[in-house]
Amino acid sequence: MSTATTNKKAVPQTSDGVAIKRKSKWGPGTIWSFVAWVAGITFFFPVLWMVLTGFKQEADAYSDPPKLFFTPTLDQYRGVLESGIGTTLLNSAFATVVSTLLVLLLGVPAAFALSLRPVKKTKDVLFFFISTKMLPVVAAIVPLYVIVGDIGMLDNIWTLVILYTAMNLPIAVWMMRSFFLEVPSELLEAASMDGASLWTSVREVILPLVSPGIAATSLICVIFSWNEFFFAVNLTAVQAQTIPVYLVGFITGQGLYWAQLSAAATFAALPVVLAGWFAQNKLVRGLSFGAIK
Amino acid sequence: MTTTETRSAEADSEKFVPRPRTISKAEGWRRRGPLLPAMVFAIVVTQIPFLFTLYYSTQSWNLVRPGSREFNWLNNYVDVFRDSQFREVALNTVIMIVGTVIISVILGLFLALLLDRKFIGRSLIRTLLITPFLITPVAGALIWKTTMFDPVFGLINFVLSPFGVDQIDWVSRYPLPAVMANLIWQWTPFMMLLILAGLQSMPKDISEAARVDGAGPFKLFRELTLPHLRRFIELGAVLGAIYLVNTFDAVYMMTSGGPGVASANLPFYIYQRAFLGFDIGQAAAMGVVTVVATIIVSTLALRLIFKSFSGNEEAA
């Protein structure tokens, strides 16, 4: 009975033609919901399996058929934490947080200058920013390696901070611009007629309005910096090693230790997965450079 | 609709934002001020290395032979185009990008249609579905290489064993498809999110009206939904391609480009030349070739993205 009521309520909102004709409890709608569940779980399964394998003993990890049920152990997670993942986690956190702050420091004012009080040639500047994102990074790695080596900055976390800032700056500029453009101009007019200075209206009117945008932009930058591998693997070694580079160690050894590897991969992925889950409503906007709201 | 129009150049420029042509010199600099640090930073960090790449590409320069550095005109480029491995790698890159984009778009469209309905646990399923895109690519590649694709203990062979598949070593027998499987798993959620945003921006009254007129679900999809989604699918494909040109993690972790260069793409091959072969000149020349090729795709991409900002650009 209650199922029928919810179904009826759902009908106006659905955009597929099948729903309206649905009568029985086991109509096509139920089938598609089931398919959606299966698809969701299938896509998620490798991640779930990674987390689970991290709770196994190595003997349980290598079993044919694979074991879904086993006696869980914290040995692997503990082992990974004791094997020096801490330093790399700190390096990753430092590069991520500092570069994200720098991106905001540079990107938010730039986005302002490209939206609410636009400079001349706004379009060209926007074009420039996005074009830097379209240059394949591999084209810059050779000189970067040589230059960074010449100034003695190889294996230095600040090198990654600077590169990650440059990598995320275009996304931040475009994304923040799309938030600035949503600020109703009536509000700004009212503020300026009340005699508010530009700085006051920025601080009291604009910033509060775009703060969700700043949060979303930060999360996107966090995801990209944390996951970055190419610069990290080529420009760092021991001191400034970040978490993705740390994971490489698990494929170069003689034998593979799946349980331990899975535990390490879980540690590596956890922060960004959580960040992404929180930011999921703004994810599209960041990934499409603000083009899709 | 009307509000957007009134919020155009006139209304804006009179009060808060003066018309660009009436801006005085001082005002011009005040406006440029907030932009300059970001511009200078972006130019220094992203453009100067590329100028060096151009310069290095004209040098015969191998780090293993110190003192061998000299100007050699465009010989590096001649070598690059003569290099049959480079051609194979370039083809791999195209297959990797195009294949991944097409399959991810199709799967993403399917998943987006599934999620554009109300059902119990929809937001949970959406959250689960985007996870492959969020997970650190290196971790994802590691998981696929080991626990998924392993010939003896891997889940893929276990799942396929009822169908007579027996201990296939996917990664060494089908290196490129194996890497692509990992990439498709990673990029399908991205396409799904974009297409879902498209579906949710679709005016519902039109499809209601069409349905009342007796249009079947298939016709409705083909003649209303798909044309509306076109822009979103194009944008997804182009953005996906731009991100995928830089694919490195998956190749590095799963196959190291092998066997031979069977699964190497341009970033990996250039990396090999520069950091394992120490051939700076050659690697730089390949980098330049990659950039030129990418510019063609990018031009298309930029036009699309600008088009997506409908209206805003004219006002600015």
Q: What is the ipTM of this complex?
A: 0.84
Q: B77 lies in a domain? A: no
Which of B47, B155, B306 lies at the smallest CB-CB distance from A49? B155
- State which residues of chain A have pLDDT below 50: 1-23
Residue B190: give its domain's CATH number: 1.10.3720.10
Q: B44 lies in a domain? A: no
Per residue in B272-312, pLDDT tens? 888 887 788 888 899 898 888 888 777 777 676 667 655 44
A66, B150 contact by CB (below 8 A): no
Residues 6+ apart with CB under 8 A from A30: none
> Mind listing the domains of chain A with CATH numbers?
28-73 (no CATH), 83-287 (1.10.3720.10)
pLDDT-wise least confident of A215-224, B7-16, B123-132: B7-16
Share the mean pLDDT of chain B: 83
Identify whether A65 is preceded by a cis peptide bond (ω within 30 of 0): yes
Q: B69 lies in a domain? A: no
Instruction: Tell the residue number behind the tokens 């010199």, with chain if given.
Output: B25
pLDDT score at A108: 94
Nearest C-alpha neighbor of A226 from the set A261, A275, A286: A275
Residue-number span of the structural domain to which B199 is assigned: 82-315
Q: B189 lies in a domain? A: yes
**B194 with A284: Cβ contact below 8 A:** yes
Distance from CA of B195 to the nearest CA of A (A): 10
Q: B254 lies in a domain? A: yes
pLDDT score at A252: 62
Identify the residue among B146, B238, B314 best suited for mutation to test binding to A, counting A beta carbons within 10 A and taking the highest: B146
Residue A195, Ramachandran bin (φ over 0: left; ψ between -120 and 50: alpha; else beta) = left
Contact list in B for residue A188 (CB cut-off 8 A) is 15-16
In chain B, the N- to C-terminal Cα span, in Å, equals 18
Burial class (CB in 10 A: 0-12, 13-18, 19+), A1: exposed
Per residue in B243-261, pLDDT tens? 898 899 999 999 988 788 9
Which of B287, B302, B305 lies at the smallest CB-CB distance from A139? B287
Burial class (CB in 10 A: 0-12, 13-18, 19+), A18: middle
Contact list in B for residue A93 (CB cut-off 8 A) is none
**A109 with B126: Cβ contact below 8 A:** no
Q: B259 lies in a domain? A: yes
Q: B52 lies in a domain? A: no
Per residue in B205-237, pLDDT tens? 777 788 788 878 888 888 888 888 888 898 888
pLDDT score at B313: 40
The number of folded domains in chain B is 1
Alpha carbon distances (Å) from B282 to B51, B54, B75, B76, B294: 15, 11, 9, 5, 18
pLDDT score at A168: 94
In sequence order, what E strands does B128-194 have? none
Q: B55 lies in a domain? A: no
Q: How many CB atoms lie within 10 A of CB A187?
A: 14
Q: How far is A215 from A236, CA to CA, in rounded Å?
A: 29
Cα-Cα-Cα-Cα dihedral sign, residues B264, B109, A36, B122: positive
B128-145: average pLDDT:
94
**A120 with B128: Cβ contact below 8 A:** no
Instruction: Give, to the nearest 10 degrees, the angle between helix A157-180 and helix A122-134.
Output: 140
Which of B7, B122, B290 lies at the smallest CB-CB distance from A138? B290
pLDDT score at B8: 41
DSSP secondary structure code for residue B148 in this structure: I
3-state DSSP call for residue B68? Answer: coil
Per residue in B139-172, pLDDT tens? 999 999 988 998 888 888 888 888 887 788 888 8
